[in-house]
Amino acid sequence: LIQMSLRALENFQTKHEKYSCIRVVLRLRLARSEFMLEVQFRSRTLQYSDLHHFHFADTRVS
């Protein structure tokens, strides 16, 4: 799970390198096999919780 999470993070960085990234938060709950990747930019926060499909929830930050 950790390897898959790191791979997801690498994929994200190469796809979105034009953005200036402020903070990346990776939360793993290994007991429940839960995964949450949160990437903060100046204008928005992207959350990613599915390891198999790259769909980022675009939650605008005011």
Q: Which band of pLDDT confidence, cut at 50, 70 and 90, is reported for residue 7?
A: confident
- pTM for this structure? 0.38
- 44 backbone dihedrals φ, ψ, rounded to 5°: -160, 165
How many Cβ atoms are within 10 Å of 35's Cβ, its own excluded?
19
Q: For 9-24, how does the pLDDT look when each residue is reduced to its tens digit (9 = 90+)?
A: 677 666 655 656 667 7
- 2 backbone dihedrals φ, ψ, rounded to 5°: -65, -40
- What is the pLDDT, as a whole number, of residue 62? 35
What's the mean pLDDT when you consider all of the chain? Answer: 63
Residue 34 to residue 10: CA distance in whole angstroms: 19
Q: For 17-61, how does the pLDDT look when each residue is reduced to its tens digit (9 = 90+)?
A: 565 666 777 777 767 767 777 777 666 766 666 544 444 444 444
